[in-house]
Amino acid sequence: QQNNIIQMVEKMLYLNKRLSEIGNKTTSETKELKDKIGGLDKEINEEVYKLYNITKEEKEIIEDSL
């Protein structure tokens, strides 16, 4: 499980680096990268919730505070 999180974080770093390289240009790749980053962020959060046995109620508290 931790290895999975590490792999996702590494992918997140790569995607953010690529997005940074594109800069302020609005392209189809920009949108695609932002969508992938958003999806990956949710996946990482879910894995962390599992890792720490976060309940549904606790998850709602955490997500409401963001």
> What is the DSSP track for 6-65?
HHHHHHHHHHHHHHHHHTT---HHHHHHHHHHHHHHHHHHHHHHHHTT--HHHHHHHHHH
Span 7-28, pLDDT tens digits = 999 999 999 999 999 888 888 8
pTM: 0.82
* pLDDT at residue 65 in the model: 93
Mean pLDDT calculated for residue range 34-45: 95
* pLDDT at residue 28 in the model: 87
Angle in degrees, CA 44, 45, 51, rounded to 5: 90
* pLDDT at residue 12 in the model: 96
Residue 1 has pLDDT above 80, yes or no: no
